[in-house]
Amino acid sequence: MPWFKGSLHTHTARSDGDINVDGVVAWYAARGYQWIAITDHNLGLAEDQAERLSKAHKILVLPGNELTGTGHVVGLGITRDYVTPARLRRANVKDSLQKAVDWIRDQGGVPILAHPNWGNVYGADVIAKLRDCNLFEVHNAAPDCNTFAAGGMPGTDDIWDRALNLGVRLYGVGSDDAHHFLAEKFHAQHATAHGGECSTYVQCGQLTIPAILQALEAGRCVASSGAHPVKVGVAGKKYVVEIDDPYPHFHFTTEFIGPDGVLEGARPGLTVIDMSSINPVVAQKAGAACAAKDVRFLDAPVSGGEPKAIDGTLAIMVGGDKVVFDEMTPVLQSLGSTVTLTGPVGAGNVTKLANQMMVACNIAAMSEALVLAKRCGLDQEVVFQAVKGGLAGSTVLNAKAPMVIARNFKPGFRIRLHQKDLRNALLAAESAKVALPVTSAVQQMLISLMNNGMGDLDHSAIVRHIEQMAGMDS
């Protein structure tokens, strides 16, 4: 079944947004959303107006309402106004939320518990006492809704996890809770979220209001800040998540250190495991910043590419304190078949770079050998079979020679990513005053391939550079 991208918590100038409802709907339609719920505070949206908006902007518009009391509850499929919100303003937040949920159900709508950390009003213990509501806004992009831990309260993902452990069936959704769309506010550091920062995908057979609501109630939904789900579900004993990369040519950086970084809201005693492949000096800087906040840190880059990631047999190279490593080993073993502590913080990335150097140089040597064999009139498959059992045999040879022979360059590990790793290796070598002549030569091959539009091919396509140098058709 297809996945449909939508916004389930959105405001207009009818309540406290900054543009009218037509403008909001047009904004989301222009950005590829397929459905949107209008959820102004205590104001429903008439069915005929929702139909007019849908036809005018070619996007499915759901009527909705955000009931504002001692806790907020979003109601989807709501056409009526909530005319007496004061009834919800009770000291007992559980009663306030339950009255909102019951009112939404009475109208035939679907309730969603919204931003519990806005004002830090309730946690998992309250959620566990509620009836007839199984949707929870696990991510709200509005900064003042404190999705991440703030004010002594746990983050909403922690609240969700605790509620699940209390036996509550609760499906997570995400929203941008957008109020601001005007350019001067959209680019400002405003306390209220802007449009497009988080969405919810639902999986259903057709794009209709009943199908959307039914999918949400059944938990066929995922929250996303950019990725498009392809496959989500249980396969045997594994939970499988497969996504499309919406920006394949973009590079992303997570702000970890600094006033707006992830580390800013971290509480003492947390453990950060950084599995990115980066310059070891950067890993050491991150580790020092964590230590200053009494946060534990491991750098744990991986090797094995997409096939090993899919089947959970990655090789994981870890740098950090042994006590922390021993405690986190079960977590890492769920992702990899080999988990090795290689030294202090930064050592994981040094080991990963060493791995990437050996792989790249191995592929380059293999490519030269296969091109020579072909030029001399030999069958490359016969040559591969003859040498793979000898000293030249390797995991790299067994994985990449068949791809070269079959001209299959579907990426398991992309050339542009391998070039990045070799660049980091050369930077680390410069700091250590170590010459890497072979690695440097292979990096130049990768740069040449990228300049010729092959950066997203598998790194086995190094052979195409060798073939071009030999004047052979590729």
List, by residue number, the catalytic residues. Answer: 352
Max Cα-Cα span within the chain: 87
In the block, tokens 């996945």 appear at 3
- 3-state DSSP call for residue 41? strand
Task: Please state the separation of Cα 230 from the chain's center in Å.
Answer: 13
- Reported as half-sphere exposure (CB side, CA atoms, 13 A), residue 193 has a value of 25
Q: Could you tell me what percentage of the chain is helix, strand and coil, using 3-state DSSP and rounding each to the nearest 5?
A: 40, 20, 40
**Spatial contact of 9 and 193, defined as CB atoms under 8 Å apart:** no
DSSP for 138-170 reads EEE--GGG--SSBTTBPPHHHHHHHHHHTT---
d(CA 263, CA 253): 14
Element (H, E) at 274: strand 271-274
Structure tokens at 54: 């849908």
E strand or H helix at 289: helix 280-292
- Per DSSP, the three-state class of 380 is helix
C-alpha 157/C-alpha 6 separation (Å) is 21
Dihedral sign for Cα 205, 207, 211, 215, please.
positive
For residues 34 and 59, the answer to whether their CB atoms sit within 8 Å is: yes
Residue 194: DSSP 8-state: B
Beta bridge partners of 35: 6, 60
Q: Which amino acid is at 337?
A: S
Local structure of residue 398 (DSSP, 8 states): H
- Spatial contact of 174 and 113, defined as CB atoms under 8 Å apart: no
Cβ atoms of 113 and 133 within 8 Å: the answer is: yes
Backbone angles phi, psi at 74, to 5 degrees: -85, 135
- Name the nearest CA neighbour of 370 among 406, 396, 405, 409: 405
Torsion of CA 90, 92, 94, 95, to 10 degrees: -50
Instruction: List strand residue ranges (DSSP E) for 290-386, in order.
Output: 296-299, 302-303, 314-319, 336-343
Specify which residues 6 forms β-bridges with.
35, 200
Q: What is the DSSP letter of 208?
A: S
